[in-house]
Structure 1
Amino acid sequence: MAARFEVRHQAGKGWHFVLIATNGQVIATSEHYESHRSCLNGIDSVKRNAGAPIQDDTGTNEGR
């Protein structure tokens, strides 16, 4: 199974999405959006920017 986005709605909070990895684990959760369309636009933004470089300003080198 491929990774997927799931759009969810919570009464009083609005719409948000989660990104689910191929193993079924949630690996990202979005902010809440007022509209379904805004939530879908957020997914499109993540897709467009997914190849962005990592910026780590924590000053640690753990695991390197």
Structure 2
Amino acid sequence: MSKFEVYQDARSEYRFRLKADNGQKILASEGYSAKAGCMNGIESVRKNSQDDKRYERLKASNGKHYFNLKASNGQVIGTSEMYESSSGMENGIASVTSNAPKATIEEV
């Protein structure tokens, strides 16, 4: 089952990562100073993941593809892993679209 993992990083910031049914990480957040902000970020991913216009498709300087999921205000709420091809990136977007709405939340 897909899930959002909520955790604190080395700087005590709250973060989440969305994992697909197979356990692969498909989206990661930036740091939040408060847990409530992190939880709001998860809800924003659930909502915005259903709108293809919210996905910013990018290419890194090393030639790999990745995407950002943005909220309606333009703020980045999640960043993908790096993909070798644009088709891999599109599969990642499809995975976020299908997994985010039903994903459980687990604190790790």
Is TM > 0.5 for Structure 1 vs Structure 2?
yes
Whose strand fraction is larger, Structure 1's or Structure 2's? 2
Structure exhibiting the larger radius of gyration computed from Cα positions: 1
Partner in structure 2 of residue 25 of structure 1:
24
1-structure distance, mates of 2:44, 2:56: 21
Q: Deviations over 1:16-62 (max 9, x none)?
A: 0000000011111000000000000000000011111156677xxx6
Structure 2, unmatched stretches of 5+, are 59-85, 88-108
Alignment of 1:9 onto 2:12: no
Whose helix fraction is larger, Structure 1's or Structure 2's? 2
Count of residue pairs the alignment pairs up = 59
Q: Which amino acid aligns with 1:49?
A: N
Partner in structure 2 of residue 43 of structure 1:
42
Kindly report structure 1 stretches of 4+ aligned residues shifted beyond 3 Å: 54-58
Cα displacement (A) at 1:8: 0.7
2-structure distance, mates of 1:7, 1:57: 25
Give 3-state SS (helix, strand or coil) of 1:19's partner: strand
1:36–1:57 CA distance, 2 compared to 1 (3 A)? closer
RMSD: 2.1
2-structure distance, mates of 1:57, 1:26: 18
- Relative to the length of structure 1, the TM-score reads 0.78
1-structure distance, mates of 2:57, 2:8: 34
